[in-house]
Amino acid sequence: MRSRFLWLAMAVVLLLTAGCAAKPTTPGTATGPVELLNVSYDPTREFYQAFNAAFAAHYEAKTGRKVTVKQSHGGSGKQARSVIDGLEADVVTLALAYDIDAIAGAGLLPADWQKRLASNSAPYTSTIVFLVRKGNPKAIKDWDDLIKPGVSVITPNPKTSGGARWNYLAAWGYALRKYGNDEAKAKAFVGQLLKNVPVLDSGARASTTTFVERQIGDVLISWENEAFLALNELGKDQFEIVVPSVSILAEPPVAVVDKVAAKRHTTEVAQAYLDYLYTEAGQELAARFYFRPRMESVAAKYAPAFPQVELFTVDELFGGWQQAQQTHFNDGGTFDQIYQPGQ
């Protein structure tokens, strides 16, 4: 008898938990508390944690509405894939425009999304720098030093990581300049560089952990903000930042995912969220987390924090992200041609 009661109790628990679990999250009504999901890439974790709190306070003061912003982080390409597969992001803040283009390709937002916000929808920029071990034992000064034999280079996989694609194009762009726009020589240069990579992690953060925690590699090709963060979090006595002679202007874009926001009735607050990135408060926060601000006044204020470096853009050298993706990262592109694992 007792065991039959046990069965009954288990069935009740089962039904209750199933009921709770299946209950859909209530979409934001016009006045009640509202929840946003920001699907972002790896190195923005700390920045958006601070920004979300600031935005929530700002928005409640302005409209009286409580807003909580939930975060999801991962490699940029992987995150875009998740949104396409149904992860309900109200806003996406990814590493590069191509990944948001892919979401637009799935019909979740219009193809001209990048024109909807100022500065190519990229409220902050960044660049690619090197992180080396203290004292720079391999004397790494510029991109040339990364292709020397015996130098172990850490960079993530361009197939899944947005940061890695910036790294790849930065190296390619450097070689183009060096060899007078000779594509074949640039390809050989990047191929040589990839030979020095012992492990391709799936995201920028995983690569940082490989370099910093697992102590693998002599140099990490990294987002500028990620390099500063590693320096601050893990000790200036262990690492140094090396700024190459020339690098790429990385423009991580942001966008409201129209279809999801419309369905969850969050369009207005999602828009306000992205707009807040462009305000002085938002720009200040970005600068404090080592993203280069767009607003002139904030940029001037934080200028000493960011090393001067000559930057080229994807549009200048590669004809935009669609074309860069096509040539370099799609199946059969230059990356597939030159990268042979285990060699």
Partner 1 sequence: MAGHAGRSAGTATSAPRVSTEPLAVRCVLIGLALAFLFLFLIAPVVMVFSQALGKGVAAYLAAVTDPEAMAALRLTLIVAAIVVPINLIFGLAAAWAITKFRFPGKNLLITLIDLPFAISPVVSGLIFVLLFGARGLAGPWLEAAGWKVIFAVPGIVISTLFVTAPFIARELIPLMQAQGAEEEEAAMILGASGWQTFWRVTLPKIKWGLLYGVILCNARAMGEFGAVSVVSGHIRGITNTLPLHVEILYNEYNFTGAFAVSSLLALLALVTLIAKSLVEWRSNHNPPDRREKR
- Interaction site with partner 1 (CB under 8 A): 3-4, 10-11, 13-14, 17-18, 20-22, 24-25, 37, 42, 45-46, 70-74, 82, 84-88, 106, 205-206, 209, 233-234
For residue 182, give Cα distances in angstroms to 93, 155, 168, 317, 323.
34, 24, 16, 12, 18
* Least distance from partner 1 to the Cβ atom of residue 29, Å: 16
* Least distance from partner 1 to the Cβ atom of residue 311, Å: 28
* Beta-strand relationship, 91-93 and 34-41: parallel
* Least distance from partner 1 to the Cβ atom of residue 71, Å: 5
Mapped onto helix, strand or coil, the DSSP state of residue 88 is: coil
Stated as kind and residue range, the H or E segment containing 81 is helix 76-84
Q: Which residue do the tokens 């934001």 mark?
A: 28
Which sign does the torsion angle of CA 311, 315, 320, 323 carry?
negative
Cβ-based nearer residue to partner 1, 84 or 299: 84
For residue 173, give Cα distances in angstroms to 57, 143, 194.
42, 10, 15
Question: What would the two tokens of residue 221 be?
Answer: 């090709």
Cβ-based nearer residue to partner 1, 83 or 219: 83
Cβ-based nearer residue to partner 1, 87 or 246: 87
CA angle 40, 42, 44 (to 5 degrees): 70
Cβ-based nearer residue to partner 1, 69 or 250: 69
* Least distance from partner 1 to the Cβ atom of residue 287, Å: 20
Cβ-based nearer residue to partner 1, 82 or 313: 82
* Least distance from partner 1 to the Cβ atom of residue 132, Å: 19
